[in-house]
Amino acid sequence: MSHETLDPLFNPRSVAILGASGKRNKLGYLQVKALIDGKFTGTVYPINPKTEEIEGLTCYPSLLDIPNPVDLAIFCLSAENVYKGLEDCAKKGVKAAIIFASGYSETGEDGEQKQRLLTDFANKHGIRLIGPNCVGLVNTTNGLFGTFSPAILAVPLNEQRAVGYVSQSGAFGVLTYMAAAQNGLSFNYFVSVGNEMDTEFSDVIEYMIHDPKTKIITGYLEGAKNPQKLRSLAKEALDYNKPIVLMKAGRSSAGSRAAASHTGSMAGSDKIYDSFFQQTGIVRVDDYEDIISFSKLFLSNKLPSGKNTVIITSSGGRGINEADRCEAYGLNIIPLKEKTTTEIKRHIPTFASASNPIDLTAAASVSNPELFIAPLRALIEDPDVDNIVLTEFPLNWTDDHPLLQEFIEISRQSNKFIFITTFPLEGMSIPKGIKSLENNGIPVIPGHLNPIKGLAKLVEYSEQNRKNQRIYQSEELDYLQKPDVQYLFTTNERLSESQASHILESYGIPAANRRVATTKEEAVHFANEIGYPVALKIDSPDILHKTEADAIRLNLSSELDVEQAFTEIYENATSYKKDAHINGVSIQEMLPEGIEIIIGATNDPVFGPVIMFGLGGIFVEVFQDISFRVAPLTRLDAIEMIEEIQGNSILKGARGKAAVNADQIVDVLLQVSTLVMDNSEWIEELDINPIIVNENGLKAADAMIVVRNNIQQTTSVRG
């Protein structure tokens, strides 16, 4: 459904309140009051057959008695009365509804069934729904406080409202809304999606992407229900230059268990969420403060050009701490070039420090506030500097103070990102000139909102934004005809090594040269063809542990050795597992020395096919030095997968070895991605382990494919 169908939820001309009440402790009263106090710009129709009037508004006995059209209905009804209300909506031609009631899918089977009936009915009649089991929807730009939460109305609003917020947790969402408002950041939209029976998390994001009033899209996520849609929306958002900033909860195992039971959705592996956000350009944050500080920084209307950060402080200790914080979040505290320090030194006392962090000393705070000007001027001339962070600022400079005006003027002439982070003390850390500063793109953010982390996240977004085109450069591998390999998946739960190798080769992935021999003579013949030395291994889908079965012989260099090995392997395999189906003995070239890498794929319950990359041995076993990406991969995804593992230095030629050809690894990753997307309904698990890679190239030495259990005989995703 198109995102425009959500418009009646955000911008209704008229709202009916089903279950409106005159009793002050009732939800139906709180909702009426919220719309009045919120100064909703449209018409409000309370519905209650037993009351004439609530807070001065005429009551109607039923929805159908309202003489005018109704865009939105807000249900202050308990679950048993909701279906009836929805039927009225259909009759009245209501376009959208908010349903607060709980007692649906969050309670189990029965509730789920009840919820499905609502959804089906609404879909049939073209009514868009928010909820059930939600706190509601707020649009602060037209006063639509579609919520019973009195807390939301308790906080004052700012003029600037350009941050949309959508939450999978009602209570946490309300807290975030309030904390943001108390810290001077007002959301334009607040949406608690509840059970997401119709409008789900990504639908709201889609609406905000196309909404000109929203400059940043933020939210609280416990489990993505539609990651494919989220992925394509993320692309759109980058095109619109709108950051999507999500607090994804459930990082820990306990948190993720709780999230799964809280939202009823699969939580999925947190590491894969990280990869997903990385590859889609969605900014992942850890807490509500990050949403506030990111938004405040973004609304300055500048984007950081990079990570190089300079701190200006008047307290040595503050400078050191903020430098620590910058580096902890991945920003660079750069040494300043001589020209810049020389220029700064000309203007500050000799006991002050002109290196980064620049320490103006207490003199600047106490007696000589003009010291804040000259270093700024010098820094904006330095092309190495991306960001300038002030840990103090003259508190007494009012909006019209000439030095404040001068400071702002210097900042305006520069594209460097400049902001002030104050030590959070009540009543004594906010500069008097904060309004002028913020209106001119210099945010002032108290330290407890962790604005340094906000800056680091904004730098991350800024980089994603710049490489937008590259991120989504698709890699269709059009040279590949879709190979016909699906017949192999019907044979067994687990493919034999030679079957798996055949599939790899069909997708262009180099594998060790191999033939399967069923007789001693064939084995010798193939060995001669392949060239010595060779390896012999049993080829059977039923024997997984070839070493345990003593059914593998390496480095054979004569016909005699091959004959003998063939016999031994056959005998050992059959005595190891009598009823094993044996395809034969695989004769395989011995690969040259190189580095072992592993490429794999699994079928994630949330994201579907996910590709894995790592080096072999202790890299995986001891250090879990692995990278993931959700398939399909772009070329950039594949490059980043290789770059982000720590063992990448080995591939680049550490320990005195030549660097390997990383482009070839990228190709294999893309080929694997295509392979698993083509066969996503068949492949549960794919493991190419190891691939031997050296400066000359790479070849898969072994591969394994597990077929999915409940195969649905659908057609493949790819044409």
Task: List beta partners, residue 74.
Answer: 17, 98
Cβ of residue 387: shortest distance to its own copies, in angstroms?
Answer: 14
Cβ of residue 38: shortest distance to its own copies, in angstroms?
Answer: 19
**Candidate list 31, 202, 308, 353; residue touching its own copies; CB under 8 A:** 353
Q: What is the full DSSP assignment across 497-512? A: HHHHHHHHHHTT--B-
Instruction: Indicate whether 621 belongs to the interface with its own copies (CB under 8 A).
Output: yes
Given the complex with its own copies, which of 486 and 694 has the nearer CB atom? 694
Task: List beta partners, residue 692.
Answer: 596, 699
Instruction: Indicate whether 253 belongs to the interface with its own copies (CB under 8 A).
Output: yes
**Candidate list 619, 629, 667, 671; residue touching its own copies; CB under 8 A:** 619
Looking at beta carbons, which pairs linking 339-344 to residues 24 or more positions away fall under 8 Å? 339/382, 340/378, 340/379, 340/381, 340/382, 340/385, 343/374, 343/378, 343/381, 344/374, 344/375, 344/378, 344/379
**Strands 697-700 and 683-694, how do they pair?**
antiparallel
Binding segment toward its own copies, per CB under 8 A, in 348-356, 483-491, 530-538, 551-559: 348-356
Cβ of residue 466: shortest distance to its own copies, in angstroms?
Answer: 25
User: Residue 110: is it exposed, middle or buried by C-beta count within 10 angstroms (0-12/13-18/19+)?
Assistant: exposed
Given the complex with its own copies, which of 595 and 686 has the nearer CB atom? 595
Given the complex with its own copies, which of 49 and 656 has the nearer CB atom? 656
Given the complex with its own copies, which of 555 and 646 has the nearer CB atom? 646
Under 8 Å between Cβ of 603 and 705 = no
Strands (E) in 492-594, as ranges, are: 514-517, 534-539, 552-556, 584-589
Structure tokens at 71: 């865009």
**Candidate list 153, 175, 430, 477; residue touching its own copies; CB under 8 A:** 175
Given the complex with its own copies, which of 93 and 349 has the nearer CB atom? 349
CA nearest neighbour of 597 among 635, 636, 638: 638
**Candidate list 36, 153, 157, 178; residue touching its own copies; CB under 8 A:** 178
Given the complex with its own copies, which of 175 and 266 has the nearer CB atom? 175
Decide: helix, strand or coil at residue 66: coil
Instruction: Indicate whether 36 belongs to the interface with its own copies (CB under 8 A).
Output: no
Cβ of residue 236: shortest distance to its own copies, in angstroms?
Answer: 27
Can you tell me the distance from the alpha carbon of 687 to that of 703, in angstroms, rounded to the nearest whole number? Answer: 6
Write down how long the chain is: 719
Decide: helix, strand or coil at residue 94: coil
Given the complex with its own copies, which of 252 and 555 has the nearer CB atom? 252
Given the complex with its own copies, which of 126 and 349 has the nearer CB atom? 349
Task: List beta partners, residue 353.
Answer: 359
**Candidate list 37, 110, 324, 529; residue touching its own copies; CB under 8 A:** 324
Instruction: Indicate whether 387 belongs to the interface with its own copies (CB under 8 A).
Output: no
Instruction: Indicate whether 327 belongs to the interface with its own copies (CB under 8 A).
Output: yes
Cβ of residue 357: shortest distance to its own copies, in angstroms?
Answer: 6
Can you tell me the distance from the alpha carbon of 552 to that of 560, in angstroms, rounded to the nearest whole number? Answer: 16
Residues touching its own copies: how many (CB under 8 A)? 72
N-to-C CA span, the chain: 25
User: Residue 57: is it exposed, middle or buried by C-beta count within 10 angstroms (0-12/13-18/19+)?
Assistant: middle
Cβ of residue 317: shortest distance to its own copies, in angstroms?
Answer: 3
Chain residues 420-459 in contact with its own copies, contact rule CB under 8 A: 423-426, 428, 448
Structure tokens at 225: 């229900």
Instruction: Indicate whether 151 belongs to the interface with its own copies (CB under 8 A).
Output: yes
**Omega into 67 within 30° of 0, i.e. cis?**
no
Cβ of residue 103: shortest distance to its own copies, in angstroms?
Answer: 8
Chain residues 256-315 in contact with its own copies, contact rule CB under 8 A: 257-259, 261-262, 287, 289, 314-315
Given the complex with its own copies, which of 554 and 711 has the nearer CB atom? 554
Under 8 Å between Cβ of 396 and 432 = yes
**Candidate list 70, 96, 204, 323; residue touching its own copies; CB under 8 A:** 323
Cβ of residue 71: shortest distance to its own copies, in angstroms?
Answer: 29
Cβ of residue 682: shortest distance to its own copies, in angstroms?
Answer: 33
User: Residue 661: is it exposed, middle or buried by C-beta count within 10 angstroms (0-12/13-18/19+)?
Assistant: middle
CA nearest neighbour of 122 among 153, 146, 88: 88
Under 8 Å between Cβ of 674 and 482 = no
Can you tell me the distance from the alpha carbon of 708 to that of 487, in angstroms, rounded to the nearest whole number? Answer: 14
Cβ of residue 296: shortest distance to its own copies, in angstroms?
Answer: 16
Task: Please state, in angstroms and as integers, the Cα–Cα distance from residue 87 to each residue in 46, 93, 206, 435, following that order.
Answer: 18, 10, 28, 51
Chain residues 623-682 in contact with its own copies, contact rule CB under 8 A: 623, 625, 646-647, 649-650, 654-655
Cβ of residue 272: shortest distance to its own copies, in angstroms?
Answer: 16
Given the complex with its own copies, which of 256 and 496 has the nearer CB atom? 256
Binding segment toward its own copies, per CB under 8 A, in 57-65, 164-172, 557-565, 660-668: 164-172
Cβ of residue 258: shortest distance to its own copies, in angstroms?
Answer: 5
Decide: helix, strand or coil at residue 191: strand
Given the complex with its own copies, which of 237 and 459 has the nearer CB atom? 459
Cβ of residue 505: shortest distance to its own copies, in angstroms?
Answer: 31
**Candidate list 618, 659, 711, 717; residue touching its own copies; CB under 8 A:** 618
Under 8 Å between Cβ of 419 and 389 = yes
Strands (E) in 140-280, as ranges, are: 144-147, 161-167, 186-192, 216-221, 244-248
Under 8 Å between Cβ of 17 and 32 = yes
Packing angle of the helix pair 338-345, 373-380 (nearest 10 deg): 160
Given the complex with its own copies, which of 306 and 316 has the nearer CB atom? 316
**Candidate list 95, 161, 318, 629; residue touching its own copies; CB under 8 A:** 318
Binding segment toward its own copies, per CB under 8 A, in 317-325, 382-390, 466-474, 553-561: 317-325
**Candidate list 71, 203, 211, 222; residue touching its own copies; CB under 8 A:** 222
Instruction: Indicate whether 147 belongs to the interface with its own copies (CB under 8 A).
Output: no
Chain residues 91-120 in contact with its own copies, contact rule CB under 8 A: 102, 106-107
Given the complex with its own copies, which of 174 and 233 has the nearer CB atom? 174
